[in-house]
Amino acid sequence: MKSTVGLLFALVAVCWGCSNKDVIRISGYIDNPGNVKVISFYEGDRKLDSVYLADGNKFKFERQATQPRLLSVVIGNNKFPVILMPSEPLEFVADMHQPEDYRVEGSALTTALKEFAPYQRRKDFVQDSLQGAFAKATLNKSAEEIESLRFDYLTEFKSKLSAYTQQAVVFAEQNKNLAGFYAMSTLDPEIAESEIIAYADEIEDKFLDNRYVSQFKEETKKLKRLAVGQLAPEIESFTPTNKSVKLSDFRGQYVLVDFWASWCAPCRQENPNIVKQYHAFKDRGFTVLGVSLDNNPGSWMRAIEADHLEWTQVSDLQAWSSDLIIDYRIKAIPASYLIGPDGQILAKNLRGKALAEFLQQILN
């Protein structure tokens, strides 16, 4: 009987050890939480769970896991990246009066993330500052003046974010782990397309059981299909006179594929610039293919005439249900791709001065 009881306790101990090993845990407390009563935990954009602050503003979260998990701890408007390892409980302490000075213990990878945090905070500050300055500068300005200011601010934005891109790349090179992955996942695809794609190729066979990393790889595959240097997906549709047209019909020319619609105010504001560039460069091998997201043929054709759009226009008149925008992942308009004579993508979303300067560079 005693041996049976002893065996039972031994089995319980073994099982407890197994469950302990396959659990991720984070606990701690929050000083000065204010109105915050709940702490949430996200993996990428997916909310995993949330817990209430207990007495003393303490909290604890645990979950079954056999692999390291990269999560975000969301407290009010503050988000803190953490890496939870099975059998390595993480202690987390933050003061909402000074959230940037949070403390972590028990996870070397989370400590590494904390070292990267100042770079990310600086990037967010610069981004918010530039957006605020742009909004203030464009008050009571004409559409042409706003577009000119947009070019100036985008140029400054890209310049300052390029420094952040290099900081993230260096950090990832020094941290061949989930901490490095997190840094790369914060990059803007508009600024760091080539760096993101190169990194995704590098980790293709790594972190296979991590949902966040898998999402990143899938999104990067989609990004890569439309990256600069890739062959542009075929477009085939009909003109207002019902003539069939393909993008490949324009091989040998530089083609601006312009996604627009008659009801899109920013598109109509950009049209005079495209008209200007079309006439300036059409005799140097440049043309435009307009792809409309209209669903009313009358509105579409009136806009073509009113805006003096002399180049080829196509549409299937299905608006956002159009098959024409699927391959190009169009989520907002205006949007554009500049295609080279060989059918490869040369640039994306060039507007205003940016379009004029790029065309001058490649066609002069």
Last residue of a domain, one of 53, 74, 106: 106
The whole-number pLDDT of residue 107 equals 92
- Tokens read off for 27: 């606990």
**Statement to judge: residues 242 and 213 lie in one domain:** no
The whole-number pLDDT of residue 260 equals 96
Domain hosting 288: range is 236-363
Q: Render the burial of 149-182: b for 16+ CB within 10 Å, e for the rest.
A: bbbebbeebeebbeebbebbbebbeebebbbbbb
Q: Is residue 9 part of a domain?
A: no
Q: Is residue 218 part of a domain?
A: yes
> 3-state class of 30 per DSSP?
strand
The whole-number pLDDT of residue 147 equals 65
Residue 27: alpha-carbon gap to chain centroid? 30
Residue type, 185: S
Last residue of a domain, one of 174, 190, 225: 225
Residue 38 φ then ψ, to 5°: -130, 140
Per-residue pLDDT tens listing for the chain (364 residues): 444 434 433 433 334 444 467 899 999 999 999 999 999 999 878 899 999 999 899 999 999 888 888 999 999 999 999 999 998 899 999 999 999 999 999 999 999 999 999 998 898 888 888 888 888 888 887 766 776 677 677 778 888 888 899 999 999 999 999 999 999 999 988 889 999 999 999 999 998 878 889 889 999 999 999 999 999 999 999 999 999 999 999 999 999 999 999 999 889 989 999 999 999 999 999 999 999 999 999 999 999 999 999 999 999 999 999 988 888 989 889 999 999 999 999 999 998 888 999 999 999 8
**Statement to judge: residues 166 and 122 lie in one domain:** yes
Last residue of a domain, one of 106, 129, 153: 106
The whole-number pLDDT of residue 144 equals 65
Distance CA(103)–CA(117), nearest Å, equals 12
Domain count, the chain: 3
Q: Mark out the alpha helices in 22-83 (DSSP H runs).
A: none
Q: Is residue 276 part of a domain?
A: yes
DSSP 178-218: HHHHHHHHTS-HHHHHHHHHHHHHHTTTSSTT-HHHHHHHH
The whole-number pLDDT of residue 20 equals 60
Distance CA(137)–CA(131), nearest Å, equals 10
